[in-house]
Amino acid sequence: MPTANDVFDKVRGHERLEQLQAARAADLLPYFRRLEGPAGPVVEMEGAARIMLGSNNYLGLTGDPRVIAGARDALERYGTGLTGSRLLNGTLDLHLELERELADWMGTEDAIVFTTGHQANVGGLGTLLGPGDTVIADSADHASILDGCLLSRAKLRPFRHGRLDKLESQLQRAAAETGGEQDGGVLIVVDGVFSMEGDIAPLPEIAALAKAHGARLMVDEAHAAGVLGRRGAGAAELLGIEAAVDLRMGTFSKSLASCGGFLAGSAEVIDFLRVHSRAFLFTASGVPAAVGAALSALRIVRSAEGPDLFARVLGNAAYLNRGLRELGFDVVGAQPLPDDSSVTTPIVPVRVGDDWKAVLLWRALFDAGIYVNVALHPAVAPGSALLRTSVMATHDHATLDEALDGFARVKRDFEAEHGPLPAPR
């Protein structure tokens, strides 16, 4: 007898369908907008110049002639693709150089390069964890971390974003449940900088809890590598706890101006992944141009130029953050550091709350020549919609001032029509 249900039924009746259709009909959909030129501080998008405040190109290196030359040289030398896995015909000298330099940068024994950052998380967590293990993850961790945890079939114990007391109780619960011969170990995994909220994980406290409970610690430095710390090695470097982190993850799709991802850690862990990680073994390796670009960008980050680029992007973040706050927007504030200083990460989220208000505000800004990202559930908690703005080292103050003028005009008109937006906390 044929089955009564069609597996495709869900595509006709999913919860987002009505919202999606209404947004499309009114041309309010903030997603899949077309870029028509390079991803610089001001972009050509759908027929107009727009100030780009929605990119992860934090250091602005996607347009750097040295990075473009790195991509072009690799393309000309090796061709357009490798048509095979790293295990077989897909490893270039460039991959090996990149892995050596990444390990050196992170201060670890070894590193492994994946085709995307998402695969680095899935391929790391999905391989190192297994049934019997427990993984404790911040509820705001990136989706790729969650995907890796789910794939592993380890017991997932999430804790409320940033809440150390909740983390500690999850560690206590995990300890009460494990310890037998059949039981596995415990891993804590957090973002160094959270991708939507822009806040920094309290890594010293998390590392101390991991140590006290005998757990391993992994930090996803996707938004922190190339930005935070003297070497730009991320939140663990900034907070002085690199030695306490067992595994560091990073991506090339942000400061390193390319596409790909990596894990850095002890030689035995990385070597284990090289022969066991299915997201590494059963996929084609990154195209030569992507690897060449990432290597060139990494060399710039590690050169004497690096600290100046980090200072510029962080300075721009503080400038935009202050400007938006002065205009009366509810922005996530500067992050306090243990030495009583503070830092504003390049992610400057504007809290809106309601999904439709966020979308309408996005459209008004788009029409005013400003592109920002809209984060709705499940990227953020339900009812916590935000406009995720972000800056690059290559924005100048004149451009940021122009954007702030646009925000001021849009806010005035928007509030007159739709009521007040959340005020600064």
Catalytic residues: 195, 223, 254
Strand order in the sheet with 370-375: 42-45, 48-53, 370-375, 385-390, 347-353
**Count of residues in the chain:** 425
250 binds ligand PLP (CB under 6 A): no
Of residues 29 and 257, the one with the C-beta less far from ligand PLP: 257
What's the helix, strand, coil split of the chain in %, to 5? Answer: 45, 15, 40
Record the tokens describing residue 64, joined without a space: 């750097």
Strand duo 342-343 + 370-375: pairing: unpaired
Which part of the chain contacts ligand PLP (CB under 6 A), choosing from 26-34, 220-228, 340-348, 404-412?
220-228
The first and second tokens of residue 256, run together, are: 């390193």
Closest CB to ligand PLP among 174 and 218? 218
Which CB, 349 or 406, lies closer to ligand PLP? 349
Burial state string for 68-84 with b = 16 or more CB within 10 A and e = fewer than 16? bebbebbbeebeeebee
Interacting residue with ligand PLP among 99, 110, 133, 220 (CB under 6 A): 220
- Helix (H, G, I), strand (E, B), or coil: what is residue 294? helix
Q: Which is nearer to ligand PLP, 373 or 399 (CB)?
A: 373
CB 62 within 8 A of CB 256: no
The answer to whether 118 contacts ligand PLP (rule: CB under 6 A) is yes
How many CA within 13 A on the CB side of residue 233?
23
Closest residue to bound ligand PLP by CB: 117
Cβ distance to ligand PLP smaller for residue 74 or 263: 263
The interface region with ligand PLP, picked from 99-107, 110-118, 170-178, 410-418 by CB under 6 A, is 110-118
- Based on the shown chain and the rule CB under 6 A, indicate whether residue 251 belongs to the binding site for ligand PLP: yes
**How far from chain centre, in Å, is Cα 208?**
24
Shortest reach from residue 117's CB to ligand PLP, in Å? 2
Stretch of 148-156, 219-227, 271-279, 404-412 lying at the interface with ligand PLP (CB under 6 A)? 219-227
Sheet harboring 216-220: ordered strands across? 110-114, 261-265, 247-251, 216-220, 186-191, 134-138, 155-159
Under rule CB under 6 A, which residues in 299-358 are in contact with ligand PLP? Answer: none
Tell me how far, at minimum, the Cβ of 278 lies from ligand PLP, in Å: 16
Strand partners, 346: none
Q: Do 61 and 297 touch, CB atoms closer than 8 A?
A: yes
Binding map of ligand PLP across residues 70-109, x = CB under 6 A, - = no contact: ----------------------------------------
Residue 121 interacting with ligand PLP (CB under 6 A): yes
Give the list of residues 6+ apart from residue 35 with CB closer than 8 angstroms, or none: 43, 44, 45
Under rule CB under 6 A, residue 155 binds ligand PLP? no
> Quick one: 118 or 395, whose CB is closer to ligand PLP?
118
Q: Which of residues 177-206 bind ligand PLP (CB under 6 A)?
A: 191, 195
List contacts with ligand PLP (CB under 6 A): 116-118, 121, 142, 144, 191, 195, 220, 222-223, 251, 253, 261
